[in-house]
Amino acid sequence: KFGHWERALELCRMMAHCKLKSNTITFSAVITSCEKSEQWVKAVHLLSVMAQSKVESNAISFSAAISACENAGTWEQALQLFSAMMQRRVQLNASTCNAAISACEKGEQWQRALGLLGIMQRCGLVPKAVTYSAAIAACEKCGKLQQGLQLL
């Protein structure tokens, strides 16, 4: 698990050295490796490198970076990425929304968690038990359990 992100980055460097262009799949794989290795700063940086390289980011690359931020407890960064994803009109998926809502839970941001749940539903995504659980937990951590229970 740990250390794979370094190998993944090295492979990208080797590809560039061999004049091979990285694509969305390549970047997403490296960002996912960073997420799994708890390298949230690297994951976020790679998203910006994608944009600079004019490589299209997708829900997978954003989800991995948002999850990395969520795991690190950096809810502000997770929500900035979520916002950037929406601004770039990248199609949302349940994994991305769940990661952002979980980041809000860890950051005790109950109103933001409920707001994200609303965005998810307006986009036609069906919340799962894990989604509701994170939103309710965010409410409970802030002493707003009644608002959370209204989701049921």
* The predicted structure's pLDDT at residue 71: 92
- Per-residue pLDDT tens over the stretch 55-74: 999 999 999 999 999 999 99
Q: Mean pLDDT for the chain?
A: 88
pTM, 2 dp:
0.85
Under the banding of pLDDT at 50, 70 and 90, the label for residue 1 is very low
Percentage of the chain surpassing pLDDT 70?
Answer: 88
More confident of the two residues 31 and 152? 31
* Residue 30 to residue 22: CA distance in whole angstroms: 10
**Per-residue pLDDT tens over the stretch 3-44:** 576 666 666 666 566 666 778 988 898 899 889 888 899 999
**123 — pLDDT class (breaks 50, 70, 90):** very high
Nearest C-alpha neighbor of 131 from the set 86, 90, 85, 100: 100
Q: Distance from CA of residue 58 to its chain's centroid?
A: 11
- Is the predicted pLDDT of residue 2 greater than 70, yes or no? no
